[in-house]
Amino acid sequence: MTEIFLIFLQFLILHLFFSTPLNIENYKNLNFNFSLNYFDIIFFNITIHLFILLILSFLKINLLAYFTLILIISLVTNFNLLIKKKIKDINIYIIIFPIICYSIFFEIAHHAILDWDGLAHWFWKVNNFYQNENLENIINLPLPQYPHLGSYIWSFFWKNSLSNIEYIGRLFIPYIYVVSLFTIGADIKNKLNGILFLILLITLSFDLFLFSGYQEYITFAYICFLTKIAFLKKKNFSDKIFIYTFIIIGSFSLLWIKQECLFYVIFFNLCFVFFVMNKKLEKFYHFIALIFIIILYFFIEKNIKGSIEYQAKINLSNLEKFKEFNLIIIYISQITKHVFIAFFKYPILILNLIILSIIFFKDQNRNNYKFLLVFFSLNLFFLYTIYFLHPASLDEMLPNTVDRILFQISSSGIIFMGRWLNKPSA
């Protein structure tokens, strides 16, 4: 009974925490020319807070004070909105959102274990922050090259909970996963279609194993939301500045989630520049901003850890073993086999193929098709390249990594399916 209460309380804490600084009232006062739903505003707040927590992770700041301050501000703000009757657009999506969150929370609580990567890799960093050690101490832990932001936020919510139960801290991961899907589903005007679409997305993308200490769902949620806001209609300068800024700070935060996110960020922003942005000067400035955050990321990593390393030494000399053509065919066939396995393990990847087909035949804007096709193609190229360069054997790597690498980007296409369902002819 106590754990049930703590889970209910943690949802309320997460929702309050991510309900500020943007809300229904001050968003409307900004007079943007694009419309956002309730969950878009929540995810903008998630982006803001994760970026702030990233900055705080480099500093010795009292996080309890920050946590308490945000909750107080959110409580006061939401109370004032209720008094002014500003919160009046209560629809079915807002009603079923906590139900879905609680369902996943209870499922995690029922299987409250940490699987291999969660226990062997990420939890070391979580415990480091939970024990009030600083970021510099990471170099004394196993696999210090792994990014720290996901573990830092995990420890943040664990430490600022009313219990000593570890999994309470990582409930923020399913929370932002569900929010990201609702940013798409809540736009669908036909509520029945919207609910069925959300159920389909959760069915195709839910994997309890990945909630056992892994970070993939954070990347999944970010890619989903960044793709959505990238395709918002931006009519004036303030619209563009707002969206471009959030894409950049969201991309910067994503760099500190997982090592492969460096490539996701580069590929996503390049596709955004070439297939979404129109003006050359805007493309130039965004490209410069992308280069800046990547250089800054490497600079900070090198100063904290002394060097920039990956789990295994990857270099071009590993290609010498491919002098025999037969070995190249073996590598390609083995990687391709596991790509197909990944598509059936995570059917949301199959949904993306369906979405690509729909865009090709139904969407008059060819840039939508090019964005998704090129983004997936670049990531597939990255996937094949990394296994060719990696010194470890394929039997060791492929079964445990290909599916998760592809899963993280599988949310990029669902915004287009949501838009297609919203068309009158759908």
Check residue 310 and give its pLDDT.
65
130-144, 238-252, 296-310: range with lowest mean pLDDT: 296-310
Does residue 364 form part of some domain?
Answer: no
CB 327 within 8 A of CB 385: no
Does residue 417 form part of some domain?
Answer: no
Angle between helices 172-185 and 414-422 (to 10 degrees): 40
Task: Assign 65 to helix, strand or coil.
Answer: helix
How much is the average pLDDT of 235-259? 94
The whole-chain average pLDDT of the chain stands at 89
d(C-alpha 166, C-alpha 160), whole Å? 11
Check residue 317 and give its pLDDT.
63
9-13, 85-89, 140-144: range with lowest mean pLDDT: 85-89
Check residue 296 and give its pLDDT.
95
- Tell me which residue of 78, 86, 103 sits closest to 8, measured CA to CA: 103
Does residue 15 form part of some domain?
Answer: yes
Share of the chain above pLDDT 90, in %: 62
Does residue 392 form part of some domain?
Answer: no
27-31, 135-139, 184-188, 279-283: range with lowest mean pLDDT: 27-31
d(C-alpha 64, C-alpha 70), whole Å? 10
Residue 241, domain extent: 2-313
Does residue 10 form part of some domain?
Answer: yes
Check residue 426 and give its pLDDT.
40
Q: What is the pLDDT of residues 51-92, one digit of tens each?
A: 999 999 998 787 899 999 999 999 998 888 777 655 555 688
Q: Which residue would you say has higher pLDDT here, 196 or 24?
A: 196
How much is the average pLDDT of 316-334? 77
C-alpha distances out from residue 55 to 58, 123, 153, 158, 222, Å: 6, 21, 12, 19, 18
Does residue 386 form part of some domain?
Answer: no
Instruction: Please determine, for residue 255, whether its predicted confidence score (pLDDT) is greater than 70.
Output: yes
Counting Cβ atoms within 10 Å, is residue 367 exposed (0-12), middle (13-18) or buried (19+)?
A: middle
Question: What's the total number of domains in the chain?
Answer: 1
How much is the average pLDDT of 119-133? 88
**Residue 254: CB atoms within 10 Å:** 25
Does residue 412 form part of some domain?
Answer: no
Does residue 134 form part of some domain?
Answer: yes
